[in-house]
Amino acid sequence: MKRLPGILELSQREGILGAASYLAMVGLNINFANGVSFLLLVAPLFGDLIWAIAEDGLGQAFHDRVAGTVVLSSRRGFSLDLRLKKFWFDLKKQWDNRQRRR
């Protein structure tokens, strides 16, 4: 098994999930005016969720199984919020330095 998925695997994974999310958004916009359409449009996203819950072993959802990807949790995590905060402060520092030079 490869350590990091390629662009094709990630495109498959996100494309399937994006399509299911889009259908769910359309279904939520219809809301309960047409209950059958609502249920049919929201079903792919819920099906993906139920697949992940019912899956034994790695807990792969449908989009993970099709793309051949696995989501691994780590103790530390990705720390995206810390990375964004650092990026924001670096950007602000550069902006302030540029303003002082003028």
**pLDDT band at 15; cut points 50, 70, 90:** very high
The confidence band for 92, taking pLDDT boundaries of 50, 70 and 90, is very high
Q: What is the pLDDT of residues 32-76, one digit of tens each?
A: 778 888 889 999 999 998 988 888 777 788 888 888 888 777 777
Band (14; pLDDT cuts 50, 70, 90): very high
What angle, 0 to 180 degrees and rounded to 10, lies between the N-to-C axes of helices 35-54 and 7-30? 140
Q: Is the pLDDT of residue 93 over 80?
A: yes
Instruction: Determine how many CB atoms are found less than 10 A away from the CB of residue 88.
Output: 10
Instruction: Specify the 3-state DSSP secondary structure of 44.
Output: helix
What torsion, rounded to 10 degrees, do the Cα atoms 46, 56, 66, 68 define? 140
Measured CA to CA, the distance from residue 73 to residue 58 in angstroms comes to: 11
Position 87 scores a pLDDT of 92
- pTM score of the predicted model: 0.63
State yes or no: pLDDT of 16 exceeds 90. Answer: yes
Q: What is the mean pLDDT of residues 78-94?
A: 87
The first and second tokens of residue 38, run together, are 């609502």
**CA–centroid distance for 71 within its chain:** 11
* Whole-angstrom distance, CA of residue 79 vs CA of residue 94: 23
Residue 2: predicted pLDDT: 66
